[in-house]
Amino acid sequence: MEYKTLGNTGERIPCVGMGTWELQHTEKSLTALKAGLAMGDRFIDTAELYGTEDIVGKAIAGEDGVFVASKVWVSHFRHDDVIRACTGSLKKLGLKQIDLYQLHWPSRDVPIKDTMSAMEALLKQGKIRHIGVSNFSVAQLREARDALKGADVVSNQVEYGILMREPEHDGMLEYCAKERITVIAYSPLSHGALFGPGCKELMQTLESVGHGYGKTGAQVALSWLVSHDQVVPIPKASSAEHVKANIAAAELKLSKKDIGLLDRESLRFARPSLASSRNW
């Protein structure tokens, strides 16, 4: 498994993680997570909103060196609520410390200074190691960073993939590259839309490129994301087979020529992100 540096921390994390949004509470899901860990993918992302912290806790029980990321939902952004939410997440995960604790979505109602003061309190208490955000715009990310007194935001988790190029056009990738902030890309295959009839031509291009490497079109799409220095995709760990394929995609090194081809072709099919489609 290849590794990338998390933000400006100097810490190295797998270049492809395991996502758990909409992951079912089944033996199949648990097996998938454990298989990923066994194959070296020791980065799992979850959230209190997902309802998957408990199954993640089961998967990592007895494991060492697993990088676990979770998120606090907007309804818990007031200072004391953040502390309680983190305590609850730690209990479900069976951990004493969360590696990366993220604000799940920008809040309209709670001043960011109040929320960030709680995040820094969690740092001081040793309950979390790093602070991240999710679905924040560049302006919101700047505001969140300015609200911190002795720490910094190390990551922003956003929807990004070969079919959803918004972070390239709204300045997010450029800003994060300049400021050394990791972009964690959720739904890298666009909730399965990449395999739909509307993307048939794009998938044909992906499969054509993949043929030269002995990989599938989906693996090429993930590898295209990994080719961006500061980007770490987190495809859902839906089965052990999918996790194995995702890890193999992380090992694929696309040529500059193929990356350029995919850059051009995918723009014809690009669509808005889930976050931008909501009036938050």
Tell if the pTM clears 0.85, that is, is over it: yes
Distance separating alpha carbons of residues 270 and 207, to the nearest angstrom: 18
Over its length of 280 residues, how does the chain's per-residue pLDDT go in tens digits? 899 999 999 999 999 999 999 999 999 999 999 999 999 999 999 999 999 999 999 999 999 999 999 999 999 999 999 999 999 999 999 999 999 999 999 999 999 999 999 999 999 999 999 999 999 999 999 999 999 999 999 999 999 999 999 999 999 999 999 999 999 999 999 988 889 998 999 999 999 999 999 999 999 999 999 999 999 999 999 999 999 999 999 999 999 999 999 999 998 887 665 554 433 3
Distance separating alpha carbons of residues 203 and 159, to the nearest angstrom: 19
Catalytic one among 50, 160, 175, 186? 50
- The pLDDT value recorded for residue 280 is 36
Distance separating alpha carbons of residues 167 and 176, to the nearest angstrom: 10
Check if 50 is active-site: yes
- The pLDDT value recorded for residue 269 is 84
Answer for the pair 221, 266: CB distance below 8 angstroms, yes or no.
no
Answer for the pair 79, 115: CB distance below 8 angstroms, yes or no.
yes
- The pLDDT value recorded for residue 273 is 58
Residue type at 127 in one-letter notation: K
Distance separating alpha carbons of residues 206 and 40, to the nearest angstrom: 26
Answer for the pair 100, 68: CB distance below 8 angstroms, yes or no.
yes
E strands, the chain, in order:
3-5, 12-14, 18-19, 43-45, 67-72, 98-103, 128-134, 153-159, 182-186, 231-233
DSSP state of 86: H
- The pLDDT value recorded for residue 143 is 98
Residue type at 219 in one-letter notation: Q
Q: Tokens in use for 181? A: 């902030």
- The pLDDT value recorded for residue 67 is 98
Helix (DSSP H) and strand (DSSP E) numbers for the chain:
11, 10
